[in-house]
Amino acid sequence: MKFFIDTANLADIREAQDMGILDGVTTNPSLMAKEGITGKDNVMRHYKQICDIVEGDVSAEVIGTTFDEMVREGEELAELDDNIVVKIPMTRDGVKALKYFSEKGIRTNCTLIFSAGQALLAAKAGASYVSPFVGRLDDISTDGIELIEQIVTIYRNYGYTTEVLAASIRHPMHVVQCAEIGADVMTGPLSVMLALLNHPLTDIGLAKFLADHKKASNG
Ligand code: E4P
């Protein structure tokens, strides 16, 4: 399973990259705003900086909501770097834009997916990735992991090549459950990746190894 980091924070992206576990980055307008990145030139420069750190796909989201705006913005974003994937919201114009980009050979990530029907539409329109939001469904008492399972099954049934990118991942068990189901990618914050490291028996075991080593060396 590929690991994408869901952030626009360059330090977090570098840290995940240095750990050797990073396959790509997803951003969204909220994450860019959180880093204080505003204005077209700054936004474009920031995406380029991200692409220079990571060898992998970098999802950059359009702000426009009409087909023409999405096409204009997406084409500019795609020109920035070969690794840019244009992130398009699941709307009627968004589906048209997915089709347009797929015919032009520009890769896309269809975002804000909350149902299997939406994921089916995105695949039919030729999206490269589809992003179902696991955590946000859990937040409203709906099983986000179940949606990932449904989409993986549907795509396998028909051989769709659209990759299932499990998004809005909030904790390490989400990652493990997505891996068991066969999601192609998960995207989450650095904190979730670091949480995967932890096990109390690892800490206890390491402390014991070091204590025994010290004892033997001193004795
Ligand atoms: C998807 O690509 C989104 O950027 C993201 O995963 C949303 O996560 P959140 O629900 O934690 O904001």
Q: What is the DSSP string of 65-107?
A: -SHHHHHHHHHHHHHH-TTEEEEEESSHHHHHHHHHHHHHT--
Q: How far apart are CA 219 and CA 100, in angstroms?
A: 73
Show the tokens assigned to 62: 């359009």
Beta-carbon count within 10 A of 205 CB: 11
pLDDT at 105: 98
Cα–Cα dist 218/214, whole Å: 6
Gap between the Cα atoms of 146 and 126, Å rounded: 23
- How close is the Cα of 167 to the center of ligand 1, in Å? 6
CA of 75 to the centre of ligand 1 (A): 23
Between the alpha carbon of residue 177 and those of residues 171, 173, 185, the distances in Å are 10, 6, 12
User: Which residue CA neighbors atom 6 of ligand 1 most closely?
Assistant: 168
The predicted structure's pLDDT at residue 108: 98
**Ligand 1 atom at minimal distance to the Cα of residue 167:** 6
150 lines ligand 1 (CB under 6 A): no
Residue nearest to atom 7 of ligand 1 (CA): 168
Residue 218: predicted pLDDT: 87
Q: Which amino acid is at 142?
A: T
Distance 217 CA to ligand 1 centre (A): 50
Residue 4, ligand 1, Cβ within 6 A: no
CA distance 143 to 116: 13
- Segments in the chain below pLDDT 70: none
CA–CA dist 177, 180 (Å, integer):
5
Report pLDDT for 76: 98
- The residues near 141 (Cβ < 8 Å, ≥ 6 apart) are none
Quote the pLDDT of residue 75.
Answer: 98
Q: Give yes or no for a contact between 148 and 132, defined as CB atoms under 8 angstroms apart.
A: yes
